[in-house]
Every structure is written in structure tokens, then in C-alpha cells.
């Protein structure tokens, strides 16, 4: 449940040749408009898992496709289970969009072993199972931009996971959830909820040797105490720690090159 003035956790990655969306919760359509991003320009979607706050915005994205011409068609990277879920939700919520689902380019992701897919000649997507609930497989994400020599990783919803540390090895930006605070919520064990606190996110970022850490998936308490979260993460991680607002832009490429940015 996001704070009342925040949307669900999602981000876009923009390059000269791609507009990529990671996760699509119920607020994502309006969130993109508020961030100055036209949802019709999205050409690739990654869905980390099937929880409502990560997929319920998909039916609007599917309906939008009826009114635009996209060539090549929208690409969707998700597991078979997630595809079944979002297809069923779309058929119930927007039956008029259901016939368009088969026109999308579905790329099925395995619920486990690491796998890589080329998004373009210069961009590679890598996914692997992270430490989520047994009834809901969750995939972490890495994107490598070989032409820019930069990379980012995304934890999705996870308890502290060595998979994330491995996926994020030497990355320029690790986007990691921090659903809890170790100091403000000492009686809560994040692992019981298959989530992490900011201290654990910092530990994973340190093991990954990431350059920057962005803390996301925050609740009301965490959003109102950003300095506390930053201090917790900094106990282990010495790189730059960010607690982005909705619509913030993080530029990943080096000076003098065209933008490759992640908007949180």
C-alpha cells in the first residue's frame, strides 16, 4: 500500500531506441503522465511478479493498444503464471481489449534459473528468482547497456537475497526495496513478509559493489523518515544512497553520451 501521495513502485528506462517499463501497479498510468511519460510510447514491459500492486495497471496498458498502431508490437516479459493472471484480469476488466492480447509479443520468463534476453543489439535483460513467497515467484532484474558501459539492477519484492547481490554485481544503480526500517520497526522481521529493510538493502548493495542505491517500495513511515533509511543503508554501503520521489530521473550514462535514464 503506497503512501497517499505516492504511486506504486515502478520505473521506466529510456534510451534512444527503447522505452521500458518495469512493473505496472494500479497507479502506473497516471504516474507516467505526471512524470511526463506518454504510456503509448512504452514498447517493452517487465512484470516481476503477480501481486496486485505490480500488475493491476496492465489492463489499461492493454486497452490503450487498441487505439494506437505499434510496430513492432508491445513486448511483455513475464512468467507464464503472471501472463495468465493479467490476461484473466484484462478479460474481466476490459473485454474489448482481450482480443488484442494475442497481438502482443509475449516473452515467457522462467520461474527460477538465470536467463538473458537481448532487448536491442546493445541492451540485455537478465532475470532470476529472488527470495519471495513460495506461492508467488518473484524475479529480480538486471539491464546492461553495453554501448554505454552502464547497468542497473532491480530487486523487485524480496527478502535479503544473494540473487540480487549477484544480479547487481558492479552495477551503476541498484534499485532495492526497503519496505521496513530496522531502527523504527525493530520488532518486525522483514523476512516473514518476504521483504527487506533499509539496512538489509544497504548490505546487499555493498555485497554487489554497486555504485548507487535507490530505496523504493516504501510505506508511510519510511517515506516520512528518509534520513533514517539512508543512515541504515549507509551502515554497510558507502556509495551514493537515493530515496527517490515519484518522477525523479537518475541519469546512468557518462558525460557526453545520450541519456539512458531510470525514472522512479
Residue 48 covered by a domain: yes
| Phi, psi of 96, deg, nearest 5 | -70, -15
Is residue 258 included in any domain, yes or no? yes
3-state SS, residue 117: strand
Cα separation, 235 vs 133, in Å, equals 27
1 in a domain, yes or no? no
Sheet holding 150-154, edge to edge: 115-118, 123-129, 139-145, 150-154, 173-177, 212-216, 240-242
**What tens-digit pLDDT sequence spans the chain (264 residues)?**
777 788 889 999 999 889 999 999 999 999 999 999 999 999 999 999 999 999 999 999 999 988 888 888 999 999 999 999 999 999 999 999 988 899 999 999 999 899 999 999 999 999 999 999 999 999 999 999 999 999 999 999 999 999 999 999 999 999 999 999 999 999 988 888 999 999 999 999 999 999 999 999 998 888 888 899 999 999 999 999 999 999 999 999 754 333 344 433
**In this predicted structure, what is the pLDDT of residue 255?**
42
Q: Measured between alpha carbons, how far apart are the two ends of the chain, in Å?
A: 17
User: Secondary structure of 61-105 in the HEC alphabet?
Assistant: HHHHHHHCCCCCCCEEEEEHHHHHHHHHHHHHHCHHHHCCHHHCE
| Res 70: pLDDT | 81
Prediction pTM value: 0.93
Q: In this structure, is residue 148 part of a structural domain? A: yes
Domain residues for the domain of 106 are 11-263
Q: What is the CATH number of the domain that holds 109?
A: 3.60.15.10
Does residue 27 lie within any of the structural domains?
yes
Phi, psi of 207, deg, nearest 5: -65, -30
Residue 3 within a domain: no
Q: Say if 4 falls within a structural domain.
A: no
pLDDT, residue 259, reads 38
- Could you tell me the three cell numbers for 69? 498502431
pLDDT value at residue 235:
97
Sign of CA dihedral 168, 173, 179, 183: positive
How many domains does the chain divide into? Answer: 1
Asked if residue 5 is part of any domain, the answer here is no
Amino acid at each position: 500500500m503506497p503512501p497517499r501521495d505516492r504511486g506504486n513502485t515502478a520505473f521506466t528506462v529510456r534510451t534512444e531506441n527503447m522505452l521500458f517499463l518495469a512493473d505496472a501497479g494500479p497507479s502506473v498510468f497516471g504516474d507516467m503522465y505526471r512524470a511526463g511519460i506518454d504510456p503509448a510510447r512504452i514498447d517493452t514491459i517487465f512484470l516481476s511478479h503477480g501481486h496486485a500492486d505490480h500488475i493491476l495497471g496492465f489492463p489499461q496498458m492493454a486497452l490503450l493498444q487498441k487505439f494506437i498502431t505499434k510496430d513492432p508490437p508491445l513486448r511483455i516479459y513475464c512468467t507464464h503464471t503472471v501472463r495468465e493472471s493479467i490476461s484473466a484480469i484484462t478479460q474481466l476488466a476490459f473485454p474489448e481489449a482481450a482480443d488484442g492480447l494475442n497481438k502482443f509479443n509475449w516473452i515467457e520468463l522462467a520461474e527460477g534459473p538465470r536467463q538473458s534476453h537481448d532487448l536491442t543489439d546493445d541492451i540485455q535483460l537478465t532475470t532470476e528468482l529472488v527470495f519471495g513467497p513460495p506461492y508467488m515467484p518473484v524475479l529480480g532484474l538486471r539491464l546492461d547497456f553495453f554501448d554505454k558501459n552502464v547497468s542497473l539492477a532491480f530487486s523487485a519484492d524480496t527478502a535479503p537475497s544473494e540473487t540480487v547481490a549477484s544480479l547487481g554485481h558492479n552495477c551503476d544503480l541498484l534499485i532495492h526495496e526497503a519496505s521496513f526500517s530496522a531502527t523504527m520497526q525493530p520488532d518486525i522481521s522483514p523476512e516473514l513478509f518476504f521483504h527487506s529493510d533499509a539496512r538489509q538493502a544497504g548490505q546487499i548493495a555493498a555485497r554487489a559493489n554497486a555504485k548507487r542505491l535507490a530505496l523504493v517500495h516504501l510505506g508511510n513511515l519510511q517515506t516520512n523518515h528518509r534520513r533514517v533509511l539512508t543512515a541504515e543503508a549507509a551502515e554497510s554501503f558507502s556509495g551514493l544512497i537515493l530515496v527517490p520521489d515519484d518522477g525523479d530521473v537518475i541519469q546512468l550514462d557518462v558525460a557526453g553520451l545520450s541519456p539512458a535514464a531510470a525514472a522512479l
